[in-house]
Amino acid sequence: MRRPSPGSIIASNPPEIALAGELLRAGEIVGMPTETVYGLAGDATNGLAVAAIYDAKGRPSFNPLISHLADPADADAFGVMNADAARLAAAFWPGPLTLVVPHRAGSPISDLARAGLDTVALRVPSHPVARALIRAAGRPIAAPSANRSGRISPTEAIHVQAELDGKVAVVVDGGPCEIGLESTVVACINDRPMLLRPGGVPREALRQALGRDLADGDSHGAIRGPGMLESHYAPIAPLQMNVAEPGPDDAVLTFASSKFVGRGPGGPVIDLSPTGDLRQAAARLFGALRELDAFHPSVISVTPIPMHGLGEAINDRLRRAAAPRSDARSD
């Protein structure tokens, strides 16, 4: 594979798009134009690629990411589209609308891209370069806006390069973004569609397509309120952090430590990364929590995890999982 120098801006002609598609398949992250804002794109089915996205953004927490698809017909493979979702997709896809729907069981979208939720955010962008790139990659593409956390969303290739130089393999230049504002996010989880984030598709247009009003939600991924799906993933077992000496029957989640391996007939032990790689740890975090939970332990004890790099987001997520359940939030 030809490798342009890291962070370079490449044109959006077919050979360059094919190259960017190859980079995505190889787990690299790439600046991707869309009609809303530029995205920081990675293979949504590859936990390590998704971890690299969070790392590049410097996000202190794991916000769930949007999985971008090339065609509306692809959505069924990854999410469960109810009648409202189907109506909105028919009206606004391809375009600046993201639908949050129940995750399709067995779909390959990684736990980390969904931040461990049992829902998935799907969007079919209308930008021809985005669609060509997703098609070239041949898989759903996770992409948050390509700015560092807390900064302004980029609407030109050069902004992405300025924000994330050295963190992306290439930036595909698709020209300035037509809309320049993120997609509207609507959850279609139960019988009341909910507006989670205003954006490129105005509320009035949504209302018209649905034939009724939308409820209002929280833009950070937590869907709360009476009768709403509790979409926050926390293990069923109570979880405690920064435990130096886990009890003999605790399930243990550890990091770069062989101390608890083979400790006998006690609870299960998972090392998030024997080599001490925080990206690997991030990619494995939600799966590991599920695995430990499946043993129905009385408690999951987590040994200290470093706070640098993705460690901050890992610790943030664990803190939420350890919080009293009524306060659990997923942003």
Residues forming contacts to ligand TXA in the complex (CB under 6 A) are 34, 36-37, 39, 63-66, 96, 98, 100, 114, 117, 119-121, 123, 143-145, 182-183, 185, 196-197, 219-221
The residue (of 21 and 39) whose beta carbon lies closer to ligand TXA is 39
Q: How many CA atoms lie within 13 A of 267 on its CB side?
A: 24
Alpha helices in 228-328 (DSSP H): 278-293, 311-322
Footprint of Mg ion on this chain (CB under 5 A)?
145
**Number of residue whose CB is nearest Mg ion:** 145
Nearest distance, CB of residue 231 and ligand TXA, angstroms: 6
User: Residue 221: which of Mg ion, ligand TXA, none does it interact with, CB under 5 to 8 A by kind?
Assistant: ligand TXA
Specify whether the CB–CB gap between 95 and 200 falls below 8 A: yes
The residue (of 123 and 320) whose beta carbon lies closer to ligand TXA is 123
Nearest distance, CB of residue 176 and Mg ion, angstroms: 18
Question: Whole-angstrom Cα distance, residue 82 to residue 251?
Answer: 38
- Angle among Cα 17, 22, 27 to the nearest 5 degrees reads 125
Give the three-state DSSP class for 28.
coil
Give the three-state DSSP class for 97.
strand
User: Residue 159: which of Mg ion, ligand TXA, none does it interact with, CB under 5 to 8 A by kind?
Assistant: none
Residues found in the chain: 331
Nearest distance, CB of residue 121 and ligand TXA, angstroms: 3
Specify whether the CB–CB gap between 303 and 246 falls below 8 A: yes
Nearest distance, CB of residue 148 and ligand TXA, angstroms: 12
Instruction: List strands edge to edge, sheet with 251-254.
Output: 239-240, 300-302, 251-254, 269-271
Nearest distance, CB of residue 46 and Mg ion, angstroms: 21
User: Residue 64: which of Mg ion, ligand TXA, none does it interact with, CB under 5 to 8 A by kind?
Assistant: ligand TXA
The residue (of 135 and 220) whose beta carbon lies closer to ligand TXA is 220
Nearest distance, CB of residue 221 and ligand TXA, angstroms: 4
> What is the helix (H) or strand (E) element at residue 123, kind and residue range?
strand 119-123
The residue (of 74 and 240) whose beta carbon lies closer to ligand TXA is 74
